[in-house]
Structure 1
Amino acid sequence: MGEELKVIVFGLGNEEYGIEVDKVRTIERMCPITRVPKTPSFIKGVINLRGVVVPVIDLRGRFNLAETELTDNSRIIVVAVADMEVGFIVDSANDVTDIDTDEIDSPPEIIGGIKAKYLRGIAKLNEDKLLIMLNLSEVLNKDEIIQLEGLEV
């Protein structure tokens, strides 16, 4: 048996995804987002989170999934990526769960239209439930992180 990994479970469309708890800073309700010109369309802008300017990315846009209306369940999950904080807009933040690292398989080439490079693996939670584990360092590549670091309000 491998070690236990605590993950935040969140929803995008019909799929459930996971991010390691130690990479998550906070989960926030939707708040006003200030648009920033000349950024990729999946970068929705920035928010002021307790005095810190945090870039916000729409994960649906990042993964080329169809955009949907934000709801009362929509959340911004603020994560630490390469020494900076970035917010991810998700459809819902559902749960914290423990995963045995032995239960994480390599991702297939593509899942639900999402390229494997964005995925750390697929975790089997039980017989009929899979959790798609994100690879945060690929969700934002180095060039995009540099671009985000230059965002000023």
Structure 2
Amino acid sequence: MDTVKVVIFKEKHEEYAIDVDHVISIEKPEKITPVPQLPNFIKGLVKVRGELVPVVDLHHVLYGTDEALHEMTRLIVLKTGILKLALLVGEAKELMEVSTDSIKQVGLFAYQKTSYFTGVINLDNRLITLIDPNRMINSLDGIREIQAYMEEQAKITDS
């Protein structure tokens, strides 16, 4: 039986998962430095292991509104094909190994705005939406400009 390891996190009252292959670390949001003129879903930058990483507010991406930080808020630091980013989530819950047989494809995921939902993990008493970070980052308006900004910041830091 094939399995996949995922990090499960919560946003609002829903559970979501990302394959651990994309996850670098899970951090408490310490100091997020705001950057003017970036899209609303970008909270700013954080320094993770000496590297500047943009913070993407998942609540804003999914629901179009901001949510206040609280004790359970976490940053899931991810690597994608475009850039590293920190996903701001309501709560990082657990690491779980799930059978690939439990991952179901749902026709609603063909909808362009949610194409990063790649399936639902169907467990006995839970449904967990699986997110592909590469698809998610590519679906966000302005991400190419952010990538260019991050590359420019890295050059300034390196010199």
Instruction: Report if TM-score (shorter chain) is over 0.5.
Output: yes
129, 135, 139: which one pairs with 1:138?
135
Q: Between Structure 1 and Structure 2, which shows a larger proportion of helix residues?
A: 2
What is residue 7 of structure 1 aligned with on the other side? 6
Deviation at 1:31, TM superposition (A): 1.1
Letter in 2 for 1:96: L
Matches within 5 A, 1:1-153: 1=1, 3-82=2-81, 84-109=83-108, 115-126=113-124, 128-141=125-138, 144-149=142-147, 150-151=149-150, 152=153
Distance change in 2, residues 1:144/1:101 (3 Å): farther
Deviation at 1:105, TM superposition (A): 1.1
* Gap runs ≥5 in structure 1: none
Q: Deviations over 1:12-70 (max 9, x none)?
A: 01011100111100000011111112211001111111210001000011112543221
Distance change in 2, residues 1:107/1:148 (3 Å): farther
Equivalent residue pairs, number: 148
Mapped partners of 1:145, 1:82: distance in 2: 12
Q: Deviations over 1:81-125 (max 9, x none)?
A: 115210000011110111111211113427xxxx43120100112
Letter in 2 for 1:117: S
SS in structure 1 of the partner of residue 33 of structure 2: coil
Mapped partners of 1:119, 1:11: distance in 2: 15
- What percentage of residue pairs aligned between the two structures are identical? 31
TM-score, length-scaled by structure 2:
0.84
Mapped partners of 1:117, 1:80: distance in 2: 19
* Gap runs ≥5 in structure 2: none
SS in structure 2 of the partner of residue 82 of structure 1: coil
User: Is the CA contact 1:107–1:116 (under 8 Å) kept in the aligned structure 2?
Assistant: no
Mapped partners of 2:13, 2:107: distance in 1: 18
SS in structure 2 of the partner of residue 26 of structure 1: strand
Mapped partners of 1:66, 1:42: distance in 2: 9
SS in structure 1 of the partner of residue 52 of structure 2: strand
Mapped partners of 1:8, 1:16: distance in 2: 10
User: Is the CA contact 1:9–1:16 (under 8 Å) kept in the aligned structure 2?
Assistant: yes
